[in-house]
Chain A
Amino acid sequence: QSALTQPASVSGSPGQSVTISCTGTSSDVGGYNFVSWYQQHPGKAPKVMVYDVSNRPSGVSNRFSGSKSGNTASLTISGLQAEDEADYFCNSYTTSGTLGWVFGGGTKLTVL
């Protein structure tokens, strides 16, 4: 199955908001509310920030929010902080193939 489409990079200044998109098809993002987002700092394991499109795990800042419209899911980070600079990956359930899950290609967030 093909990876979901994310922008390679986004940037913003401290305090601003940024949105990262994740585009798929009706077989994945558009067909199910099973999209999650992962933050990965260099040399570290991924950390879940949002799951089931818009739910935040306990302990994740409410500056992180998720949404979905059609075949595109989005992660919005408000009140940008230096520590938010990282790679972000979306993940979706998919009916393409037998595995059931597919990642996006990843987005590098730079805090200016």
Chain B
Amino acid sequence: EVQLVQSGAEVKKPGESLKISCKGSGYSFTTSWIGWVRQMPGKGLEWMGIINPGDSDTRYSPSFQGQVTISADKSVNTAYLQWSSLKASDTAMYYCARQHSASLFDYWGQGTLVTVSS
């Protein structure tokens, strides 16, 4: 069974760093791109970036370029999303999603809620 399991909720202070994870199982992790999606409270879905775990080729949305870093470790079938200095405006739910083919993002993680508050 294909699964994407994300790390648990985080509560952080502004200026702190954070790295959240998305672990894939039940399929060959290196054969499908993994995307990261932000959903701010009560708002829509926004693409942040997408990574090919096979060769770490990464593309970012202009809105998130330089604000976050997406990476992957194929030895542990895990993709990561990290911040070096969080802001209150980073408070949101973050999802990872597997791109099976073309426009089919077929499996999604359960989401990681990040709360940034002083």
Interface presence of A64 (CB below 8 A): no
Name which residue of chain B comes closest to A102, CB basis.
B47
Query: CB distance B106 to A103 under 8 Å?
Result: no
Q: Give chain B residues whose Cβ lies under 8 Å from the Cβ of A105.
A: 44
Q: Give chain A residues whose Cβ lies under 8 Å from the Cβ of B97.
A: 46
**Residues 61-112 of A at the B interface (beta carbon under 8 Å):** 87, 89, 91-93, 97-106
Name A's interface SS.
strand
B104 contact from A46, A51, A102, Cβ within 8 A: A51
Query: CB distance A36 to B103 under 8 Å?
Result: yes
Name which residue of chain B comes closest to A37, CB basis.
B103
A48 contact from B37, B46, B104, Cβ within 8 A: B104
Query: CB distance B59 to A98 under 8 Å?
Result: yes
Chain A: how many interface residues by the 8 Å CB criterion? Answer: 30
Q: Give chain A residues whose Cβ lies under 8 Å from the Cβ of B102.
A: 34, 51-52, 93
Q: Give chain A residues whose Cβ lies under 8 Å from the Cβ of B62.
A: 1, 97-99
CB distance from B56 to the nearest CB of A (A): 15
Q: Give chain B residues whose Cβ lies under 8 Å from the Cβ of A97.
A: 61-62
Rounded to whole angstroms, the CA-CA distance of A102 and B61 in the bound complex is 9
B45 contact from A34, A57, A92, A103, Cβ within 8 A: A103
CB distance from B47 to the nearest CB of A (A): 5
**Residues 19-77 of B at the A interface (beta carbon under 8 Å):** 35, 37, 44-47, 49-50, 59-62
The 17 listed contacts between A and B (C-beta, < 8 Å) are A34-B103, A40-B45, A45-B95, A45-B110, A46-B95, A48-B105, A51-B104, A57-B104, A89-B45, A92-B103, A98-B59, A99-B49, A100-B59, A103-B45, A103-B47, A104-B44, A106-B45
List 13 other contacts, CB 8 Å, given A51-B102, A99-B49: A35-B103, A36-B104, A46-B95, A48-B105, A57-B104, A57-B106, A89-B44, A97-B62, A98-B62, A99-B60, A103-B37, A103-B44, A106-B44
